[in-house]
Structure 1
Amino acid sequence: MDWSSGEYPEKLVIAMKNFDTVYSAWDGEDLVGLICVMDDGIMNAYIHYLLVKPDYQLKGIGKQLVKRVTDYYKDYLRIVVICLTENVKFYEYCGFGLEEDKRALFITDLEN
């Protein structure tokens, strides 16, 4: 799987252990997808990673992982996802919507 955090495997291992919720998809012993969520325990849940191996994309795995998260957090006030512009349509297909009066802001410096 190719994503920027993968360049920092030691940090990534710690991060994965600290997520509140992780669901995975397997083909035998091969990890083919995962979704990781952080939450505040009652109101807000944040999808941080949704990863599906390229050979397994467009087979419903990502949508099923998102559904497991939305089912699990159904009583929360909101589930938030920040994604690349190219992935917006996928999340809209899963029920997420853009809000005109809100924007995501970032400080991105994985070196520190």
Structure 2
Amino acid sequence: MIQYQINMPISAEQFIDVLRRSTLGERRPIDDHECMEGMVSNSNLLVTAWDGGKLVGVARSMTDFHYACYLSDLAVDCDYQRQGIGRQLQILTQQQLGRHCKLILIAAPAANAYYGHLGYTNLPRCWVLDRDQGLQD
């Protein structure tokens, strides 16, 4: 039986491992330990799914808890997908937020169709600025 935890600390190694076992590891800097450690330690909302002592899912967010919650990473081990774990991670994330707070995310290309049936609205107005582009002095 899957157990869920709110803000239970995890290590960068555990985070990297679950990303590798999901499809999200392909789009994250999993070989940059410093970056991965910063991602884990600077998140302010972390919902995890566990099968015994094995981390099988994670929803990692940055939020003000009242208006906006950026769900930066939603990853479920491929062996555990299609069991409702990702949905439950999002439900538990949303339950931690105030009534006006919106979940905001950027969908992985392969997962883009997943979010519509959950009630998300697809908005074409997202912009991304990489560190090495633009805003130069």
What's the TM-score bracket when you normalise by the shorter of the two chains? 0.7 to 0.9
Q: 2:43 is matched by which residue type in structure 1?
A: F
* Structure with more relative contact order (C-alpha pairs < 8 Å, separation 6 or more): 2
Tell me the equivalent position of 1:105: 127
Single out whichever of 57-66 and 74-83 deviates more from structure 2. 74-83
- Paired residues, number: 108
RMSD: 1.9
Match of 1:44 in 2: 68
1:64 corresponds to 2:66: no
Q: CA deviation at 1:85?
A: 2.9
Map of 1:33 onto structure 2: 57
| TM-score of the superposed pair, with normalisation by structure 1 | 0.84
**Percent of pairs with identical residues:** 24
Q: 1:86: Cα distance to partner?
A: 2.2
Is the deviation greater in 34-43 or in 59-68? Answer: 34-43
Which residue of structure 1 lines up, in the alignment, with residue 40 of structure 2?
Answer: 16
Q: Which runs of 5+ in 2 are unaligned?
A: 1-18, 133-137
Q: Which structure 1 residue ranges, 5 or more long, are not aligned?
A: none
Which 10-residue stretch deviates more, 36-45 or 55-64? Answer: 36-45
Q: Kindly state the Cα deviation for residue 17 of structure 1 after the two structures are TM-superposed.
A: 1.2
Q: Is the 8 A contact 1:33 1:50 kept in 2?
A: yes
Partner of 2:88: helix, strand, or coil?
Answer: helix
Q: Which residue of 1 aligns with 2:109?
A: 85
Determine the C-alpha separation between the residues in 1 that align with 2:131 and 2:33: 16
Q: Give 1:106 shift.
A: 1.4
- Aligned to 1:7, what secondary structure does the other structure show? coil
